[in-house]
Chain A
Amino acid sequence: EIVMTQSPGTLSVSPGERATLSCRASRSVYNNLAWYQQKPGQAPRLLIYGASTRSTATPARFSGSGSGTEFSLTISNLQSEDSAVYYCQQYDQWPPMYTFGQGTKLEIK
């Protein structure tokens, strides 16, 4: 099983600033990495796939980077509505054994 480790556990950032969230895989997943945003009482929503491609509804303030074992999600010009938990997910294994990180809680001060 590929273990996904996210850091930090919680991040508190002021509006208008930039937040960088990290995700590490226990072995290379190439660019088969997705990021999701989950707000309280809601299902996860896809933000990024292929490590760096934004989904159609994702604002340009969100950007993903990395490959192999190290990935990051950067959110620029933070807005209050960006307050959420963010998860990474690898989809490199076949037969599937998809795994998620434990999440980073982003708080907007």
Chain B
Amino acid sequence: EVQLVESGGGLVKPGGSLRLSCGASGFNFSVYTMHWVRQSPGRGLEWVSSISSSGSYTYYSDSLKGRVTISRDNSKNSLTLQMNSLRAEDTALYYCARDPQSSEFPRPNYFDPWGQGTLVTVSS
């Protein structure tokens, strides 16, 4: 069974940092493009970042570019999102999601499946 399990969320003060992780199992992690998507009551569902299967290509939403870094460790089946200079508007449930098909190079795609999410709260 394909599983994606996020961790690392929590309460952080504005300007602080947080490192989110996503552990993958049940599939060959190293051949799939992976994504982070967040959800908040005010902003709805919002794509955050994507990384190619090898990690060579990374993409970021304009709203978070420069403040987040996506990375992966294929030897550990792990995806990471390093978040810096956090703001109140970054408060959200952060989901890890997978591309539906394996590919060497990233391409436009939908997300399937999704993890259950990890909650990030930015507040003083």
Contact = CB atoms under 8 A, between A and B. Distances in A.
Interface of A: 1, 32, 34, 42-46, 49, 55, 87, 89, 91-103
B46 A43 contact: no
B61 interface: yes
Given A43-B115, A43-B117, A103-B44, A96 B110 contact: no
B112 A46 contact: yes
B116 interface: yes
Contacts of A91: 108-110
Given A43-B114, A94-B107, 20 more contacts: A32-B108, A42-B116, A43-B113, A43-B115, A44-B114, A55-B112, A87-B44, A87-B45, A91-B108, A91-B110, A92-B108, A93-B108, A96-B47, A96-B50, A96-B106, A97-B62, A98-B47, A100-B45, A100-B46, A101-B44
Contact of A102 (B44, B59, B111): B44
B32 to A, nearest CB: 15
Given A95-B59, A103-B44, A46 B111 contact: yes
A66 B107 CA distance: 22
Contacts, number: 58
A26 to B, nearest CB: 16
A56 to B, nearest CB: 10
B interface bracket (residues with beta carbon within 8 Å of A): 20 to 34
A97 B65 CA distance: 12
A101 B108 CA distance: 17
A40 to B, nearest CB: 13
A96 B59 contact: yes
A87 to B, nearest CB: 6
A42 B95 CA distance: 11
A89 B115 CA distance: 17
B107 A89 contact: no
B100 interface: yes
B55 to A, nearest CB: 16
10 contacts: A32-B108, A42-B116, A44-B111, A46-B100, A91-B109, A95-B59, A96-B106, A97-B62, A100-B45, A103-B44
Contacts of A87: 44-45
